[in-house]
Structure 1
Amino acid sequence: MKIESPQQIILLVRDDGWMMDVLRTAKTLRLPDWWVCAGFVRAKIWDTLHGYDPRTPLPDVDVVYFDPHDISEETEKKWEGELRRLSPEIPWSVKNEARMHAVNGIPPYTSAVDAISKFPETATALGLALDERDEILLAAPWGIEDAVRCIVRPTPCFENNPEQAYIYEERLAKKNWKSIWPKVQVIPIR
């Protein structure tokens, strides 16, 4: 199968009961500016392009949100615990992007999508959410081209920041995506 548009990604997700359950469960928290992101989206695209069924297991399901009024890690853990109570079979990870800039040593983010744009790889800088009518929203600050072409390259935040470049390289070695999805092409930092 070929994926050429954001609408095709949205249709893939809409037709995936498990992904829709994850999105609906995350939505129940009513977090501000929330998204289920990163590998949750990328793996669906790559699994589809590789013809994988069943899906590749995920080490975690990343839920991000943006709440500058409560940046305590304890609140994140409370939300994570609530998601685990609702769907204990899902490996939830919840982060408030209003505080994560401090953890990452970079300037503050302005929103959850701004934070997603500063993920290490363009193919991972993707997020999904549901609006009030349960319509799927796709955040792709660097577009979908790299994800649908199975290209792993650094986002500008990592490519243009020598202090951050090692994180990208470490992730490449740790994740070893090519061993799971052979069509993946990895672009090193120049």
Structure 2
Amino acid sequence: MFGRLPLDEQLDALRSVLTQNEVLTDVLARTATLALPGWYVTAGCLFQTVWNVVTGLDPADGIKDYDVFYFDGGDLSWEAEDAVIRAGREAFAGLPAEVEIRNEARVHLWYERKFGVRCPPHESTEAAIDRFAATTCCLGVRLEPDGRWRVYAPHGLSDVFNLVVRPNPVLAPREVYEAKAARWKGEWPQLTVLPWPGPEPVRAAASPY
């Protein structure tokens, strides 16, 4: 029902839904104290909270971790990022969930080694969010110093509320999208998973032996 609301009402609905996940609101509040440049809480903890509420599950059900992205292009060393990660461990101590902090200015240094495709350097946290494997994942929220919520949703919110998983073939390989979508479908069977664009891959015939 939320997916058919006007955009301003969808934003109000998003905040209403996300605040039902007390772990998420705690992560937002604690991240704000770290004063990270260009930070967002992003990815699964957001859209999966929505899926849980829409399908009648506990808001935090099945959410294994909470992702915090920030952007610091002034120091690309691992040591600088690690110092932020260690500060985060203190800030998030006692939370019943894992919080992963990542400097998106450094992603291009390790992405190809992990995923097998080259990642151009990100220019901002928003640019990093733009390159998630599914457009449904392209969502970020942060608390501004005045307490307002800043929401970044370049593909809108209708798919998130309507339980639609749509591919975003700008960076992540097809197999990453399909593996994630299959895992999500297993946990939220109400999802509609849209296929990767283009022809289906040729699959080798199974051996009878």
Establish whether TM, by shorter chain, passes 0.5.
Answer: yes
How far did 1:30 drift? 0.5
| SS of structure 1 residue aligned to 2:136 | coil
For the aligned residues, what is the CA RMSD?
A: 2.0
| SS of structure 2 residue aligned to 1:62 | strand
Deviations 1:10-31 (A, max 9, x none): 2323454432211010111111
| Consecutive unaligned residues in structure 2, runs of 5 or more | 112-117, 198-209
How far did 1:54 drift? 5.2
Alignment of structure 1 residues 46-61 onto 2, 5 Å: 46-53=51-58, 55-61=60-66
Quick one: structure 1 residues 103 and 145, their matched pair in 2 at CA, closer, same or farther if it must change by over 3 Å? farther
How far did 1:61 drift? 0.8
Amino acid at match of 1:99: R
Q: Is the Cα contact below 8 Å between 1:14 and 1:136 reproduced in 2? A: no
Work out the percentage of aligned pairs sharing the same amino acid: 32
Tell me which residue corresponds to 1:36: 41
| SS of structure 2 residue aligned to 1:58 | coil
2-structure distance, mates of 1:134, 1:72? 31
Aligned partner of 2:187 among 149, 174, 180: 180
2-structure distance, mates of 1:60, 1:97? 17
Q: Is the Cα contact below 8 Å between 1:77 and 1:94 reproduced in 2? A: no
1-structure distance, mates of 2:59, 2:180? 25
1-structure distance, mates of 2:195, 2:73? 34
Aligned partner of 2:78 among 62, 73, 76: 73
Q: Is the Cα contact below 8 Å between 1:42 and 1:147 reproduced in 2? A: yes
With the length of structure 2 as denominator, give the TM-score of the two structures.
0.80
Deviations 1:52-76 (A, max 9, x none): 1252132211000111001223333
Quick one: structure 1 residues 14 and 134, their matched pair in 2 at CA, closer, same or farther if it must change by over 3 Å? farther
Q: Is the Cα contact below 8 Å between 2:20 and 2:59 reproduced in 1? A: no
Quick one: structure 1 residues 54 and 150, their matched pair in 2 at CA, closer, same or farther if it must change by over 3 Å? closer
Q: Is the Cα contact below 8 Å between 2:138 and 2:153 reproduced in 1? A: yes
Deviations 1:55-100 (A, max 9, x none): 2132211000111001223333322222222223330111111111
Look at both structures and tell me which one has the larger radius of gyration over its CA atoms.
2
Alignment of structure 1 residues 8-27 onto 2, 5 Å: 8-14=13-19, 16-27=21-32
Amino acid at match of 1:12: V
| Consecutive unaligned residues in structure 1, runs of 5 or more | none
Quick one: structure 1 residues 130 and 121, their matched pair in 2 at CA, closer, same or farther if it must change by over 3 Å? same
Tell me which residue corresponds to 1:166: 175
| SS of structure 2 residue aligned to 1:63 | strand
